[in-house]
């Protein structure tokens, strides 16, 4: 079951400069940053009501975030849907013909297991599924 929009991911060149910007928009202090080695990225979350904005900076030149920024510039990268059972949702969506970037969930940021639906099968929208780890 899909529970809510957990966050919207934004690809940025500089987490420091972007955190300055979003701290002003949301009138919040800078959030703590977290390294996500599985995605070669450093991330920071700004909570906004029930959801949050995730800023994502690439940690390496050849990561998917680097490639995204090279191709499309900074901006909205993905929408994250929180689910109660990620393996069940992956199976359900595969039955409908959706393709996954990774159909074995990886450890994402903030204590979640995550899997990404390939944008080729979702009208160009990269969708992240996330289940809170117990």
Footprint of Zn ion (CB under 5 A):
9, 54, 80, 128
Least distance between Zn ion and beta carbon 62 (Å): 19
Given the complex with Zn ion, which of 49 and 95 has the nearer CB atom?
49
Q: Which residues pair with 24 in a beta bridge?
A: none
Q: Which is nearer to Zn ion, 54 or 57 (CB)?
A: 54
φ, ψ dihedrals at 10, nearest 5° = -120, 125
Smallest distance from Zn ion to CB 60, Å: 18
Give the pair of three-digit tokens for residue 50: 């029930």
Minimal distance, residue 10 CB to Zn ion, in Å: 9
Inter-residue contact 55 to 101 (CB < 8 Å) = no
């Amino acid at each position: 079951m899909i529970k809510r929009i957990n966050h919207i991911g934004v690809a940025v060149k500089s987490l420091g400069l972007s955190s300055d910007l979003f701290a002003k928009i949301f009138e919040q202090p800078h959030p703590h940053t977290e390294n996500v080695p599985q995605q070669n990225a450093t991330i920071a979350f700004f909570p906004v009501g029930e959801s949050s904005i995730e800023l994502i900076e690439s940690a390496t030149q050849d990561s998917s975030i680097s490639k995204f920024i090279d191709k499309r510039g900074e901006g909205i990268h993905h929408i994250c849907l929180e689910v109660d059972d990620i393996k069940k949702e992956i199976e359900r969506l595969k039955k409908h013909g959706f393709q996954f970037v990774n159909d074995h969930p990886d450890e994402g940021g903030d204590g979640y297991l995550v899997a990404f639906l390939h944008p080729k099968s979702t009208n160009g929208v990269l969708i992240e599924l996330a289940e809170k780890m117990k």
